Structure 1
């Protein structure tokens, strides 16, 4: 933990000076915990993920909490495995959206990020899980049986 090259972390290492505001919503300083858990865009993304995966609303305050969330999801074995992967893919997609905004000045909406999570999550799950027979339609409805 603490190794993600957010603006806040780079500033603490004296690698960057200037504005350390989150580029996705410009509502707070950009730290890993803010970017993946506290940012309004991330909160909206996690809300869509929780509805899709039929779990309780996702409210986390740290990256560590986010990565451990699948243990307390109440899902079955296959769904729990998929949900854990979705959380990791989700963090990756939020990070990519942040980089696109910071370096290319292209902003993705929370809905666009969610769609990326769903499609990349499907590719990951289909290729890494024992459940190789899952269809796109079943994935989109989070029906993993």
Structure 2
């Protein structure tokens, strides 16, 4: 049965995307089993408010892009690989922060290699 957590979080395809995003962020994802767990985790993660905000944006971008790509697959027949969706999440979250932040997010190269490196 499809519910929001299955569609956005527990579907095997989405689980692979989530694992790749957490690996990119260098974060252990144990104990995160649904969207609520994810949002609670990112809201309380770490001690640096700026890095926490980055992780919140990445988490929201992941949920948004998973939903968007699923709809494109269902309604337009678009087939995207996990790699392309992960790249879209990285790009989306980088541009969200770059356009909204008062501090420098850094270069695309540094973001791609480690989005949560100390500021």
Kept after mapping to 1: 8 A contact 2:98/2:104: yes
Counterparts of 1:62-81 in structure 2 under 5 Å? 62-74=34-46, 76-81=48-53
2-side partners of 1:119 and 1:144: how far apart? 20
TM-score, with structure 1 as normaliser: 0.72
Paired residues, number: 117
Give the match for residue 110 of structure 2. 138
Indicate the structure (1 or 2) with the bigger Cα radius of gyration: 1
1:82 aligns with 2:54: yes
State the structure with bigger RCO (CA 8 A, min sep 6), 1 or 2: 2
Kept after mapping to 2: 8 A contact 1:126/1:132: yes
1:40 aligns with 2:8: no
Give the match for residue 51 of structure 1. 23
Kept after mapping to 1: 8 A contact 2:97/2:105: no
2-side partners of 1:133 and 1:102: how far apart? 34
Kept after mapping to 2: 8 A contact 1:138/1:144: no
Q: Determine which structure has the larger helix proportion and give its number.
A: 2
2-side partners of 1:109 and 1:133: how far apart? 27
1:6-27 deviations in whole A, cap 9, x for unaligned? Answer: xxxxxxxxxxxxxxxxxxxxxx
Considering only aligned residues, what root-mean-square deviation do their CA atoms show, in Å?
1.8
Kept after mapping to 1: 8 A contact 2:61/2:92: yes
User: Which sections of structure 2, spanning at least 5 residues, go unmatched?
Assistant: none
